Chains A and B, each alone.
Chain A
Amino acid sequence: MNKKLTSILLASTMVLSLGLTACGGEKTPTTESKAPTTESQAPVEPAGKGKIAYIVGNLGDKSFNDSGERGMETLRSEGWDVKTIETGDASNADKYNDYIRDALEQGYEYLVASSTYTGNFLEIAPEYPDQKFLVFDDSPDLTGHDNVSYIAYAQNEGSYLVGMMAAGMSETGTVAVNVGMENPVINDFVTGFIEGVKAKDPNCKVVTAACGSWSDPVIMKNLCLDQQRNNNADVFYQVAGGSGDGLFEAAMETGTWAIGVDSDQYQTYKDSANPEKADVILTSMLKEVGNSFIAFFHQVEAGEAVWGQGVTLGLADNAVGYVDNAFFQEMVPQELRDEMAGVADKVKSGELKIKSYFDFASEAEYMDYVNAAK
């Protein structure tokens, strides 16, 4: 009796654990394979323009991935056949190649994925020369990859503007930028921010710290409290994914300001169950991933030569920017807002070039730069 029970229990635990971990990825390959049959039954798709597979970790991040999904939504309505495939987070990294190959075998002509998948794309792309691969938020070397393209974003430009604002709003003369983990794109955010702060007020200090995880709000909050206490920081910029929610709580607790990232985080909180949390978010630095997809696939549709090369989109392309909402206008002085808009115009026209992480000769040089700003 007991043995039977054990085996049933063990089996159910295993099934449950497998099933539930897979739920993190939401759409498993099994549901994927059903797709072709439903397609053949439903040929009423408005004049199919092409089949796109959008590969993301998880939707629901309220920023990056969701912004991309909104772009894909628009493309869907324009007649593209877009499928979003969620692969789960980094703990599923060993299955990334399988997801990508699955999509390729199902006949998706265009595969779109973020920098997380750059390595996988570059590895697999040569085996499928007729299908195309688009990497976004990364700028890999595409020599020898004629069917790959990339979209990178000038996050340094958007961060520069919010950096100016941070310096202008700080009363203590110290601001902070806290990231999830350090990587080239994230370091580019930091570089732009420090540049902006220093441009507005050369004496303003910038503390930079990495929380070490994209999902540890506890440590993030602790970091901010420490910065508020010991460094006297009073404006906090988060580039930390989920951990960033800890930063907003710290700002609320200490009566300081926060700056959001990727999407309009003020609006997200205003529409949520905790609207009072929004009232510390002066603005958010925007990264319009979705818009860049729409623009890219319009180019593809027009038959422009986009493959084998990449583009970096910035303020001039409306791919990055900051949120200019009522709260921002109420809290930030007119003068400062005009200054930000003026600088934005200068960057757009090419008159002002913002320093980027990619301009540093070495990591050590960047580290010196960050430490000098402290």
Chain B
Amino acid sequence: MSIDWVAFIADAIRLSTPLIFAALAALICRQAGMFNMGLEGMILWSALGAVICAHYSGSMWIGLLGGIAVGLVSGLIIAFASISGKADLYLTCIAFNLAATGGTVFVMYLLTGEKSTTAGAFRSYQIPNLGPDTPIIGGLFKLIEKIPVIGRIISGQSLLTWLALLSVVLVWVLLKKTRLGLRIRAVGENPHAAESVGISVPKVGYVSFSICGVMTGLSGAFLSMSFVTFFMKGMANGRGYIGLSAQNMANGEPIGSALASLLFGFCQELSTTMKNQTTFPTEFLEMIPYAATIIALGITGMLAIRRRRRVESGQAAAKEE
């Protein structure tokens, strides 16, 4: 029994992919001043939407687009309820998640007559993994594979994993370098001030939820069309909430959120490997990703408090002078 640590890292990245998308989705909303708890339900709907579109169109790409579209629509539903309808965002999100738990099963039952999984009823499609066999860029991967360690981690990852990393950069550019990003942050900082300079707060809210929807769509499509190739009821299994806490840990910063998601993916992979390779009780190992969430949130919270105290004491000292 020897553990292949290179493959371990590759798998940890794979497990992190849906979390990175979820964290990005959460942070866009947060930057716009909204705490979107509906991610879990949005991911679930997207995962189902992706397999439905792929099956009926016979094309994996339409499936992927379908998943994104479903994510987009579900984001807009929450946005409509909370922005135009002025409904409480938390309640809307809770209602949305509950509706998704039963609703996805209901839709699956209507279409397939199954109540647990689409594994039998729908044709499976897998979004390709990028490796030496990939057309056009395959040659590049042949070269990459020759690099020790790194080569094996990079080669064979899903297209969506690459897209997740790209999204981190795109979201960072969007928030820090574009006018829209500035507006999103302005609205999040102080909606009244933003409104007073002529920014349409509802419009920015809708745009944020749309981007959020696209991200959850990719997250859902990764679950049902990449890691496995079918939809199963409740298959989000808390990944939306983990993404939410990942962005919380990093205070809504894209790169930090992605790193936090990688940490959770790493913890999930660690728990998997330890289940197989050690004799720790399963229940203890299953706790690892979630315990890591609580500990990480606790530490980042403490750091934030300490930083604030330091600023406050500085201000107090300045006053005395």
Contacts and interface: CB of A to CB of B under 8 A. Distances in A.
Interface in A87-102: 91
Interface stretch (A56-64, A129-137, A321-329, A338-346): A56-64
Interface centre among B1, B2, B232 (most CB of A within 10 A): B232
A253 to B, nearest CB: 10
A85 to B, nearest CB: 15
Given A20-B102, A212-B286, A249 B115 contact: no
A231 to B, nearest CB: 6
Interface in B241-282: 268-269, 272-273, 275-277, 279, 281-282
Interface stretch (B118-126, B208-216, B307-315): B118-126
Contacts of B109: 23, 26, 60
A273 B103 contact: no
Contacts of A20: 98-99, 101-103, 106
A5 B85 contact: yes
B236 to A, nearest CB: 10
A305 B123 CA distance: 50
Contacts of B124: 273-274, 277
B184 interface: no
B146 interface: no
Max count, chain A CB within 10 A of own CB: residue among B4, B122, B275:
B275
Interface stretch (A103-111, A113-121, A194-202, A220-228): A220-228
Given A226-B273, A245-B228, A272-B121, A215 B282 contact: no
A30 interface: no
A218 interface: yes
A215 B273 contact: no
A61 B237 contact: no
A274 B122 CA distance: 8
B276 A21 contact: no
A29 to B, nearest CB: 16
A298 interface: no
Given A215-B232, A215-B233, A223 B102 contact: no
Interface residues of A, number: 58
Contacts of A2: 84-86
The interface residues of chain A, by DSSP majority, are classed as helix
Given A17-B99, A242-B117, A221 B237 contact: no
B228 A231 contact: no
Interface string B110-140: 0001111101111110000000000000000
Contacts of A221: 227-228
Given A13-B92, A218-B223, A277-B124, A60 B114 contact: yes
A19 B282 CA distance: 36
Nearest to A250: B228
Instruction: Report which residue of B2, B228, B279 has the largest number of chain A beta carbons within 10 angstroms of its beta carbon.
Output: B228
Contacts of A332: none
A230 interface: yes
Contact of B234 (A215, A271, A374): A215
Given A21-B102, A223-B276, A273-B122, A59 B115 contact: yes
B53 to A, nearest CB: 15
Contacts of B4: 229-230
A163 interface: no
Contacts of A273: 55, 120-124
B301 to A, nearest CB: 27
A160 to B, nearest CB: 23
A164 interface: no
Contacts of A271: 120
A367 B120 contact: no
B123 A23 contact: no
A31 interface: no
B32 interface: no
A144 to B, nearest CB: 32
B36 to A, nearest CB: 15
A274 B92 contact: no
B237 A23 contact: no
Given A6-B87, A20-B103, A268 B120 contact: yes
A60 B11 contact: no
A95 to B, nearest CB: 14
A229 B152 CA distance: 14
Contact of B102 (A17, A59, A218, A367): A17
A354 interface: no
A223 B275 CA distance: 8
A146 to B, nearest CB: 36
A84 to B, nearest CB: 13
B11 A227 contact: no
B81 A13 contact: yes
A114 to B, nearest CB: 15
Interface in A242-284: 242, 245-246, 249, 268-269, 271-274, 277
A6 B86 contact: yes
A218 to B, nearest CB: 5
A126 B122 CA distance: 46
B3 interface: yes
A222 B117 contact: no
A22 B99 CA distance: 10
A9 interface: yes
Given A9-B87, A226-B272, A274-B120, 15 more contacts: A2-B86, A10-B87, A21-B99, A21-B101, A62-B120, A207-B276, A215-B232, A217-B230, A218-B227, A229-B4, A229-B7, A242-B117, A269-B120, A272-B119, A272-B121
9 contacts: A2-B86, A5-B85, A17-B98, A61-B116, A213-B237, A215-B233, A218-B15, A218-B228, A226-B11
Interface of A: 2-3, 5-6, 9-10, 13-14, 16-17, 19-24, 26, 58-62, 91, 182, 207, 209-210, 212-213, 215-219, 221-223, 225-227, 229-231, 241-242, 245-246, 249, 268-269, 271-274, 277, 367, 371, 374
> Top 6 nearest A-B pairs by Cβ distance?
A272-B120, A60-B115, A21-B102, A20-B102, A17-B99, A20-B103
